[in-house]
Amino acid sequence: MADTYYLGFDLSTQQLKCLVIDQKLKLIHSETVEFDQDLPHYNTHKGVYIREDGSIECPVEMWLEAVDLVFLRMSKREHLDLKLVRAVSGSCQQHGSVYWTSEGPKMLETLNPKSSLKDLLFPSAFSRPVAPNWQDHSTGEECEAFEKSSGGPQQLAQITGSRAHYRFTGPQIMKIARKEPKVYRNTAKISLVSSFLASLLSGKFTKLEEADACGMNLYDIEKRDYDDNLLCNIDANVADVREKLGGDPIPSDKVEPVGHIASYFIEKYGLNSKCEIYPFTGDNLATICSLPLRKNDVLVSMGTSTTILLVTDQYHPSPNYHLFIHPTLPGHYMGMICYCNGSLARERIRDQLDGNHDWKLFNEAVLSKTLNTDNELGIYFPLGEIVPSVPSSYRRATFTKDATTGSVTLNLVENFPSVAHDAKNIVESQALSCRVRISPLLSKDCADTTYHLGQNTVHFDYDNFELSEYAKRPHRAFFVGGASKNDAIVDRFAEVLGASDANFRLETPNSCALGGCYRALWSHLFFSKQTETSFDKFLDKTFRWGTDVQNLGMGSKEMWQHHNEKIAVLSALEATL
Pick from 224, 216, 223, 221: nearest CA to 241:
216
Least CB distance to ligand XUL at residue 504 (A): 22
Stretch that binds ligand XUL, among 72-80, 276-284, 386-394, 458-466 (CB under 6 A): 276-284
When binding is defined by CB under 6 A, the residue of 32, 55, 284, 510 that contacts ligand XUL is 284
Contact between 133 and 56 under an 8 Å Cβ cutoff? The reply is yes
Q: Distance between CA 338 and CA 157 in Å, rounded?
A: 15
Instruction: Tell which phi-psi region holds residue 203, choosing left (phi > 0), alpha (psi between -120 and 50) or beta.
Output: left
- Residue 126 engages ligand XUL in binding (rule: CB under 6 A): no
Residue 240 to residue 527: CA distance in whole angstroms:
33
Q: How far is the CB of 453 from ligand XUL (least distance, A)?
A: 33
Cα 421 from Cα 349, distance rounded (Å): 10
Q: Pick from 134, 265, 333, 493: which binds ligand XUL (CB under 6 A)?
A: 134
Do residues 327 and 286 make contact, with C-beta atoms less than 8 angstroms apart?
yes
Q: Does 282 bind ligand XUL (CB under 6 A)?
A: yes
Using the rule CB under 6 A, give the single segment among 31-39, 267-275, 282-290, 412-420 that binds ligand XUL: 282-290
Q: How far is the CB of 435 from ligand XUL (least distance, A)?
A: 23
- Least separation, in Å, of the C-beta of 282 and ligand XUL? 6
185-244 residues near ligand XUL, rule: CB under 6 A: 215
Indicate the residue among 379 and 480 with the shorter CB distance to ligand XUL.
480
Shortest Å, Cβ 283 to ligand XUL: 5
Collapsed DSSP state (helix, strand, coil) of residue 166: coil
Three-state SS for 499-560 is CCCEEEECCCCCHHHHHHHHHHHHHHHHHCCCCCCCHHHHHHHHCCHHHHCEECCCCCHHHH
Q: Which residues have CB under 8 Å from 474's CB, separation 6+?
A: 296, 297, 298, 310, 438, 442, 446, 497, 498, 499, 500
Residue list 329-388, contact with ligand XUL (CB under 6 A)? none
Q: Which of 17, 128, 167, 424 binds ligand XUL (CB under 6 A)?
A: 167
Residue 400 forms beta bridges with which residues? 409
Task: Kindly tell me which residue out of 13, 89, 191, 429 binds ligand XUL, with binding defined by CB under 6 A.
Answer: 13
Part in contact with ligand XUL (CB under 6 A); list of ranges 279-287, 369-377, 419-427, 566-574: 279-287
Q: Decide if residue 283 touches ligand XUL (CB under 6 A).
A: yes
The minimum distance between CB 61 and ligand XUL, in angstroms, equals 20
Q: How far is the CB of 167 from ligand XUL (least distance, A)?
A: 5
- Percentage helix, strand, coil for the chain under 3-state DSSP, each rounded to 5: 40, 25, 40
- Is 95 or 492 the residue whose CB approaches ligand XUL more closely? 95
Instruction: Provide the mask over 88-117, with x wherever binding to ligand XUL is found by CB under 6 A and - wherever it is not.
Output: -----xxx----------------------
Burial label, 43 (beta-carbon count in 10 A; 0-12, 13-18, 19+): exposed
Phi then psi for 375, rounded to 5 degrees?
-110, 30
Residue 165 CB, nearest distance to ligand XUL (Å)?
7
The footprint of ligand XUL on this chain (CB under 6 A) covers a number of residues equal to: 11
Nearest distance from C-beta of residue 379 to ligand XUL, angstroms? 25
Amino acid at 45: H
How many helices (H) and strands (E) would you count in the chain? 23, 25
Our CB check for ligand XUL shows the closer of 56 and 82 to be 56
Comparison of 55 and 101: residue with beta carbon closer to ligand XUL: 55
Among 4, 12, 75, 542, binds ligand XUL (CB under 6 A): 12
Residues 6 or more apart in contact with residue 561 via CB below 8 angstroms: 450, 451
Tell me which stretch binds ligand XUL (CB under 6 A): 40-48, 73-81, 281-289, 412-420: 281-289
Q: Which is nearer to ligand XUL, 39 or 92 (CB)?
A: 92
How many CB atoms are closer than 10 A to CB 452? 10
Considering beta carbons, is residue 310 or 366 the nearer one to ligand XUL? 310
Smallest gap from Cβ 12 to ligand XUL, in A, equals: 5
Nearer to ligand XUL by C-beta: 215 or 516? 215
- The whole-angstrom separation of Cα 376 and Cα 422 is 10
Neighbours of 2 (CB within 10 A): 5
What is the rounded CA–CA span in Å between residue 434 and residue 493?
Answer: 9
Rounded to whole angstroms, the Cα distance separating 64 from 122 reads 8
70 or 573: whose CB is closer to ligand XUL?
70
Closer residue to ligand XUL, CB minimum distance, 48 or 423: 48
What residue ranges bind ligand XUL (CB under 6 A)?
12-13, 93-95, 134, 167, 215, 282-284
